[in-house]
Structure 1
């Protein structure tokens, strides 16, 4: 396939095309043969992260002085599109490179950046972000995890859940209240060294409906001690503002993956219906099947055009939070709708996990929940009207 034909406008130069070719070959030859095993063991091999680092597929938007690729958000999105193309949900690079690394770049000290980013770019360190709690999901201001200053350390108490990369992360970007009475203004972010933090324990890797290869986990902090210089930012209480500034990019990441998944569902269904025969003819010959695919293909195309426009706006700094929320909610709704309609065209085979469309169906459902539930996205959009 000519990669230039499918390249979006924000990733159509020679460098981006070469990156796409490298990422595609890597995912097809290294990830695909291991996907079943990863799903059974509930985590991605660390060797895969290290190999991705060697190929320069991690932290592409991180400047070279910190060990990164020296590119832009667009380069990380090329890798995410290729990952979505083979439907590998467990490789949490979208969190690692697309969320945690930008926080370090935007708010970290020089010492923090030089300590963490080069090892994140190499795959030696895997990163996670811990916001959600058992009693506080999308309502981040209501989190109960506490961080209390004790001399040159903070003592952290609380629990987090649904944490992507939580079972294996070496670095955890943790949200906690440093001023419990301060509401949103009392939230601070911390860089927790998960391998050197007394009082920190990982809970179980959660048994999810889909995305089985991802080590989504519970995290527990019992007077967990972290150095005072682990605070992200100059002073306490900056965390909620940092989160609100960065969340639109997280939501755009989910939209990029959603659009890619919707298109893959259409591609799989077209191929299946053209090769599957019923009543002496290919399924594709039936008008109902053709019309279903025509509608799904149109929805997938519109989603991609919308997402590409959002990426362009994000690259030039003009993407607003409401539009990012629109992209997240609408494309993930479309993803679930298109995957469901395409699965129907597979008949009974669509319900069998031997067929990728079945895995896509289970994997897609979380997209409408994490990153801010779609109902919250609509609330945020409405506030801008």
Structure 2
């Protein structure tokens, strides 16, 4: 089927979604969660075909990999979304004008949302569940590295849609070629919004070539600043968690910024990191503090390229600063506006950090690993927006709606 024909079918399906009852949507999602768990062996077998084509040392390998536990987590997220209130049809504002006109501002779906993503088959489930719950159809453009996984997942989704007599074109998976990407980015009139999820290169390509509105879910270059008033015990565990929990995801720690007065605590932080064999690129001061206190094969002098890098692996940089202002300057220079954290027991300093750091999620005394729609109580997420228009941070149901004005009259006409 030609791409345009496929997109026409999705557009038609999106219009039909406006008439699907909320209880039906809930039933579809709950059934899909059950079907995902029941079909674990099938999904994992297809996922293995993709994994067999990728180098296990590739940072994307962990994102591509599905396991029984991860599928159970995905199913749990789908059930969470099913249980949330619909974001559609909410009255945001209403008034009665002096002439008797009743005016309401009401939330509505975007219509058709296009997602371009790399090596993340869990996104297929997440996007569909959030789009369906918010009344949107979705066009999925996964990478060739996850083609078998995505095809398997979409086949399960469409089986459930057919069971509940919801148009199966509510979700469409496009072929993995570059030409299909270009056609998708120019599909004005068929797709209302494009959301890219993946590398900075992919995001830049989409932004520069799309003729459709784009919401950037940018790279996560995440910093944690250990302040001179930081608690060492908290810092040790927070830094370890932020770096090692899942190093291949966008909320993982990339650069520890540490106050010069607290370099004495760095070896203790590093001993914890050594357990996970984290490679450290340390500036001159931090290198001297770690030399002899950290495995030599894991410790390297930092270069200019060490800062402002999203490692997506068990690697991180360490930057020493002489003041709070210097820490802010470093973070604001290299931030991708994703997630930034401070570890400090000084409330005034924490408050200033929150005000002056420009990121979608700003943390104090906890791990950046929490930047996640499910962890924020949003059910799941379609991406983490690093821009400021329309949505910022984890994007879930509310962020997948727009609004329209409803005007109710009783014969009024506007005078000349």
Q: Is this a same-fold pair by TM over 0.5?
A: no
Higher relative contact order (CA 8 A, sep 6+): 2
- What interval of TM-score do these two structures reach, taking the shorter chain for normalisation? under 0.3
**Greater strand percent: which structure?**
2
Pair member with larger Rg: 2
**Greater helix percent: which structure?**
1
TM-score (norm 1): 0.27
